[in-house]
Structure 1
Amino acid sequence: MIIDVLQHVPFEDLAAISDWGEARRHSFRVHHLYEKVDLPHAANITLLIILGGPMSANDADQWVKEERELIRQLIDQQKPVFGICLGAQQIAKALGATVFQGEQKEVGWHPIQTVSTHFSFIPDEMTVFHWHGEQFSLPDGAIRLFGNEICENQGFVYHDHIIGLQFHFETTRESMEKLILHDRDYLDDSLYVQSEQAMKTANFPLENKEVLYQLLDHLVDAVREDRKTSGL
């Protein structure tokens, strides 16, 4: 399967998602939006992954609005979409939710709790990588998947094939170090912002990668089921 990817900045890439694609023999068509390329057409997309970035879903830039319009088109066409951090905020806003500044930044390795049984393979609690200050409200009709004391809505699923995650399941040691290097100014001494040393010496939970793979497999299965139903 060819999977389209919207990448907003060079230092936030597919990371572990690339490993999943290689293991499953999928290929990626990455649209480097920081190079001012055009967005893909909804009709040409089978499954869309939207990565993170330091910009805001509330920015007035035209490309931000156009990206949300693309998301709306894919939702209307019942095509799977997977959004991470900024990508999740864009999905939430496309579904009518709000994106707002949280009371605290959340940066580094912090626990989240699973608050839904929608996906039976997800553990009750995980420690995952965060890098955000803004948050989203839960879209109408969406099921909240994760939360914690810092951010109530850490992830959601909408109609079983639209998934938004505020945190970064895809983090690898390399991708984390690139983010620290290029967005170091975002770090401060606030309560839930870990030091570089704490982030770099933390253990990488293997279950994060396993859950990521299963979520992506679920979306691919949704495509295959749709094709089967359509007789394609």
Structure 2
Amino acid sequence: MHIHLLQHGPDHGPARLTDWLTSMGHSFTIFHLYDQELTPSVSDSDALIVLDGPDRFIEQPPAWFKAENKLINRYLDGQKPLLGIGLGALWIADALGSVVALGTYPETGWHTIHLAPESPIDLPEQFDAFMWHRYVFSLPDDALPCGGSEAAPLQGFSWDAGRVVGLLCHLEVTQQSIEPLLARHSLEAERRDFLQTEADIRQSPKRFDALAALLDRLLSQWLRPASL
């Protein structure tokens, strides 16, 4: 399969996603929309991944968002798999008619997700994931919840029998991929609510390794129907 990935900023790359795609024999193309690259055509790929991006794009969509939003809606209206992460999930939820708004508590760092009983995605009942968001979404019509954290009870959704998945949390990050975020965004010196310090985030590097197996389970289930 050939997968298109839409990237919205230099700090929000695909991280482990491309390693997984390569290891599974898939090809991919990354479109750096923030660097004036044009959105691709639906016909040129078998699936689409909409990556994370700066929160400010929710409040002030960039000039190229109109074209990306059109592409997202074409995927929603079609039959090809669509995955959104962070900002990408927020934009997909919005296209499905959800309410997108500032969450009661922003989340940074490592937080525990409890799998929803009705989640169609087979993941552990409880696992830690990396968070970096202020905005949340409501559950789209005809979608199933994937799980939630203490600060954000809805961390993800599955729509159209799992063909479309949106996740606020990050299973794709690596210790190296978050370095640009930490370098560019100063965190609180002390832990506050659901905002972790840089020291908290770096405390257990093995947490990043544990995400690899979770990402594999998620992506394998997401792409399996289209691969048959």
CA deviation digits over 1:186-217, x for unaligned, max 9?
A: x3353111111110112415443212112212
Taking only the aligned residue pairs, the percentage that are identical comes to 34
Q: Is this contact kept in 2: 1:107–1:194, CA < 8 A?
A: yes
After superposition, the Cα gap between the structure-2 partners of 1:30 and 1:120, relative to the gap in structure 1 and judged at 3 Å, is closer
Q: Which consecutive residues of structure 2, in runs of 5 or more, have no partner in the other structure?
A: none
The whole-number CA distance in structure 2 between the counterparts of 1:86 and 1:205 is 21
Aligned to 2:3: 3
CA deviation digits over 1:13-64, x for unaligned, max 9?
A: 1111122112112121000011111111122231001111113334343422
1:220 aligned to 2:223? Answer: yes
AA aligned opposite 2:150: E
Compute the TM-score of the two structures, normalised by the length of structure 1: 0.90
Aligned to 1:146: 147
1:40 aligned to 2:40? Answer: yes
Q: Is this contact kept in 2: 1:46–1:80, CA < 8 A?
A: yes
- Of 211, 216, 219, 1:208 maps to 211
The whole-number CA distance in structure 2 between the counterparts of 1:217 and 1:111 is 22
SS at 2:135's partner residue? strand
SS at 2:221's partner residue? helix
Q: Is this contact kept in 2: 1:58–1:99, CA < 8 A?
A: no
Shift of 1:162: 0.4
Compute the TM-score of the two structures, normalised by the length of structure 2: 0.91
Aligned pair count? 223
The whole-number CA distance in structure 2 between the counterparts of 1:86 and 1:60 is 11
Q: Is this contact kept in 2: 1:144–1:157, CA < 8 A?
A: yes
The whole-number CA distance in structure 1 between the counterparts of 2:121 and 2:155 is 17
The whole-number CA distance in structure 2 between the counterparts of 1:109 and 1:132 is 12
Is the deviation greater in 192-201 or in 207-216?
207-216
SS at 1:53's partner residue? coil
Q: Is this contact kept in 2: 1:127–1:205, CA < 8 A?
A: no
Aligned to 1:180: 182
AA aligned opposite 1:40: P
After superposition, the Cα gap between the structure-2 partners of 1:99 and 1:65, relative to the gap in structure 1 and judged at 3 Å, is farther
After superposition, the Cα gap between the structure-2 partners of 1:61 and 1:180, relative to the gap in structure 1 and judged at 3 Å, is same
The whole-number CA distance in structure 1 between the counterparts of 2:8 and 2:101 is 20
Aligned to 2:129: 128
Q: How big is the alpha-carbon RMSD for the aligned residues of Structure 1 and Structure 2?
A: 1.7
Q: How does 1:14-53 map to 2 (within 5 A)?
A: 14-53=14-53
SS at 1:175's partner residue? coil
SS at 2:207's partner residue? coil
The whole-number CA distance in structure 1 between the counterparts of 2:183 and 2:61 is 27
SS at 1:194's partner residue? coil
After superposition, the Cα gap between the structure-2 partners of 1:98 and 1:10, relative to the gap in structure 1 and judged at 3 Å, is same
Shift of 1:223: 1.7
Q: Which consecutive residues of structure 1, in runs of 5 or more, have no partner in the other structure?
A: 226-232
After superposition, the Cα gap between the structure-2 partners of 1:60 and 1:174, relative to the gap in structure 1 and judged at 3 Å, is closer
The whole-number CA distance in structure 2 between the counterparts of 1:120 and 1:6 is 23
